[in-house]
Structure 1
Amino acid sequence: MFRNALKSARQVKAPVRAFSTRATAARAVPRPSNTLLFSTAAACAAGLSLYSLYTHQSIALDEKKGPIIQPTDSVQPPTSTPPFPTKMSADGKEWSLLGCGVRRVSFLGFDVYAIGLYLPESQKREVRELLQSTSGFQQANGDVEEFKKSLLDPVHGAAKIRWLLDQGIDIRIRIVPVRNTDFGHLRDGFVRTILAHPEAKEASQNKEFADGLSELKTIFSRKMSVPKHNILVMNRKGNNGELKITYYDAKSEADLGEGSELGTVHNPQVSELLLLQYLTGKKPISETLRDSVINGLVTVAIE
């Protein structure tokens, strides 16, 4: 299916190249619009993705058998947790799964937790318009792969992701441990991740950032175990970057209830660096999440 879609996309782009080199033809034939090209090539992005989002089908990737279509309203992360719902209602909003992946400790050879990022349904149109306003989208000129490369670029793509985070978009981070853990281990992992960002050393000289890290440490200071497949949610408010953290002693959305609000990290740079570590750089801490979210952003931009 993907090869056919790619062939179809190339067939659409071929006349554009021929047309652009013939001045006479240029006057006679209108150039296909970006919208047409992106719509035709949308299947390419879906074929390249580990997951198919915003539909009633999810596509998981089996290394031996290839894509496996699952007619469900959920997506299976590349690990052994329960699947992530593609849609959910929480905090008075409807959310759509943007992408999901796994945090893996490669040198120890095990998965730590599955992680998914959600966007509010009410802000998807805004995100689409923001993405379409970027130079990467406009310079791609209808080439889905070029647009995707612009978002994956370690420098320019990271700048675009940072810019998106500054545009008032709410983000829901959903974390599900693969194995039994505790708040202490989660705290140490999040803090190490943030401090590993190249900007963290300089940011640590700032009192507000240091206070934010202290808030994060305090939130996870409870001596409390977290059984595998229970749910931890971090809600990042787009208007101020605050990160509200809630723990649910449950393994499915139907059983979440109110949850236990653990606290809020008020400094926006703490949550920003955490998300940048997940989604950008040459070696993000979760390549599966980064790739899935980038595919999700491409889908939002062209749908």
Structure 2
Amino acid sequence: MLRPTTIRPVLRSSPRCQQCLRRSLFSGKGSSRVSQDLDLNKLNSQRRDYERHRTVFLAAGATAGIISFVYTAWKLKKALAEQKDKQKEKMAVKCDAPPIPTETFKTEAGEKRKIVVHDEDGRVIVPTGNSVVPAFPRTIDVKLPSTKEENSIAASISDKHGSEYTLVGLGVRTVTFIGIQVYMVGFYVATQDIAKLQQYLIKKINPSATTLIPAEKDALRKALKDVVEGEETWDTLLRESDCRSVMRIIPVRDTDFHHLRDGFVRSIAARSQRNKAYNDESFGVAMKDFKALFNRGSVPKKQELLLCRDEKGVLSVMFNSSRGKDLKSEVLGTVEDERLSRLLWLNYLAGSKVASEPARESIIEGVMEFVERPVGTVATQVV
């Protein structure tokens, strides 16, 4: 009996079947492309988030830096003020004499004035409110150099004109927004020339008066404080009144001539650029000569620098390097051009920006004391 035979079919794939097989094997290729696209979008989103977070972080850091800078400056200013108060207390304890009073008193007319005291030598002094330079003398004697021979030894002003100068006002010069003190400055006018100052300012308000009443004094005070009118008033007074005057500068910290010179030159240049009358060769030569006077070394604190303006406007620069009572100033040189000293004086007296606002205010109040007296009486009654 014949057994049935099992026939196993031999599967041979055709080329078409092989293609189908390949499609089945790589059927996930389309989904892989979609996955890659999704990954790129995710990366772009992450990149945008990173940039946004980075910008926020940088902005926060900059803000924190500004806040910390302002806070540190405030703390520094506060610490300097506390240190100054401690120094005043130490000086008061060490000094045998009582401290110089800085308070004011009222006159019969109800006006406030500073208390005037005397030092141990009997000289009248005026308190400054500064611990390093506590007082300025009410009057000083200045010996100007000869204008004919600049290099000669300083010669005394003739007895006819006198050599005494009377303090009009004083104040401190500060720099930077935290108010670092640089020097004390006092404005002095030749005692014999105060009558010229009185007459000009009184006639400006009331041509027929010899002294000003309170209402007229208020009008003069307002005029001198005005930016435009105040500068015009002092500019004309300096050109026409022939008043001799001195700017007395005492540093409250160690400095140098170059630093002082740069401050002077900047103020003169800023004012001269606003007026074409100063744009000539002779004024440029005067500026060059003025700069040359300060080609020197250091200026220790408490040393005296005198900027002197004579009746013709000639500027003389004098420096006292001694610490004794007998002050012998060295003449550094002179500048003949009147315009330079006038611009330098205006830097302290008037304008939109002055070197020392406290000094300008004090000078105006000092002028008020002069104009309330009859013309010509201040020279014989200086208090």
TM-score range, shorter chain: 0.7 to 0.9
Instruction: Tell me which residue corresponds to 1:64.
Output: none
Do the aligned partners of 2:187 and 2:247 also contact (CA within 8 Å) in 1? Answer: yes
Do the aligned partners of 1:113 and 1:179 also contact (CA within 8 Å) in 2? Answer: yes
CA distance in 1, matches of 2:285, 2:293: 12
Output the amino acid matched with 1:174. R
Equivalent position SS for 1:250: coil
Cα deviation for residue 72 of structure 1 reads 7.1
Deviation track 1:242-280 (CA, whole Å, cap 9, x = no partner) reads: 10001100346x2312x2111111111111111112111
Do the aligned partners of 1:98 and 1:296 also contact (CA within 8 Å) in 2? Answer: yes
Equivalent position SS for 2:331: strand
Deviation track 1:8-62 (CA, whole Å, cap 9, x = no partner) reads: xxxxxxxxxxxxxxxxxxxxxxxxxxxxxxxx74x42xx1x6x46xx5579xxxx
Do the aligned partners of 1:88 and 1:95 also contact (CA within 8 Å) in 2? Answer: yes
Q: Which range moved further: 121-130 or 165-174? A: 121-130
Equivalent position SS for 1:159: helix
2:255 corresponds, among 173, 181, 190, to 181
1:75 corresponds, among 118, 126, 135, to 126
CA distance in 1, matches of 2:206, 2:173: 28
Do the aligned partners of 2:194 and 2:243 also contact (CA within 8 Å) in 1? Answer: no
Cα deviation for residue 186 of structure 1 reads 1.1
Q: Superposition pairs for residues 133-144 of structure 1, below 5 Å?
A: 133-135=203-205, 142-143=214-215, 144=217
Equivalent position SS for 2:192: helix
Q: Superposition pairs for residues 224-263 of structure 1, below 5 Å?
A: 224-238=297-311, 240-251=312-323, 254-257=325-328, 259-263=329-333
Equivalent position SS for 1:294: helix
Output the amino acid matched with 1:274. L
Q: Which range moved further: 229-238 or 81-90? A: 81-90
CA distance in 2, matches of 1:113, 1:94: 23
1:122 corresponds, among 169, 192, 215, to 192
1:266 aligns to 2:266 (yes or no): no
Instruction: Tell me which residue corresponds to 2:230.
Output: 157
| Higher RCO (C-alpha under 8 Å, 6+ residues apart) | 1
CA distance in 2, matches of 1:185, 1:4: 40
Do the aligned partners of 2:166 and 2:190 also contact (CA within 8 Å) in 1? Answer: yes
Per the alignment, do residues 285 and 220 of structure 1 end up closer, same or farther by CA in structure 2, a change over 3 Å counting? same
Cα deviation for residue 77 of structure 1 reads 2.3
Rg (Cα) greater in structure: 2
Structure 2 residue runs without a partner (length 5+) = 1-102, 144-156, 158-162, 374-383
Do the aligned partners of 2:272 and 2:343 also contact (CA within 8 Å) in 1? Answer: no
Structure 1 residue runs without a partner (length 5+) = 6-39, 59-70
Instruction: Tell me which residue corresponds to 2:54.
Output: none
Cα deviation for residue 88 of structure 1 reads 1.9
TM-score by length of 2: 0.58
Do the aligned partners of 2:317 and 2:332 also contact (CA within 8 Å) in 1? Answer: yes
Root mean square deviation of aligned Cα = 2.8
Q: How many residues align?
A: 246
TM-score by length of 1: 0.73
Calculate percent identity across the aligned residue pairs.
31
1:219 corresponds, among 290, 293, 311, to 293
Deviation track 1:38-96 (CA, whole Å, cap 9, x = no partner) reads: xx74x42xx1x6x46xx5579xxxxxxxxxxxx97112224332411001222241111
Do the aligned partners of 1:131 and 1:137 also contact (CA within 8 Å) in 2? Answer: no
Cα deviation for residue 145 of structure 1 reads 2.3
Output the amino acid matched with 1:230. Q
**Bigger proportion of residues as strand:** 1
